[in-house]
Structure 1
């Protein structure tokens, strides 16, 4: 299940430009939700660590579940 949320205010627009996140017209980023972050795909994982494509702390008041056809 995917989610969308707006980044916390401390995240600058240019920081998002260099990330792999797509920012929609309303300023939401899309991905999986994990403990206060929207995260991207898993690049590598083993029994000791996990490496994610990207992650961004989000404003919890903006967190929404993404509809299947969005």
Structure 2
């Protein structure tokens, strides 16, 4: 990532867990919405998720943020 942006914040564990849960729910809704769109109908299921992420920068960012939150929460526990 040539023009990567770094975001640093401090959240309580409770807030981080709540944010992670909300992001997971939104991500799953978005994935389900995109999964059955005609644009991805002929993309094999094994490659469909990657294809959706390549065309949806919001979902790609959500995935990265969810991974960072999960890792941070594991480090705290």
TM-score (norm. length: structure 1): 0.27
Greater share of residues in strand: 1
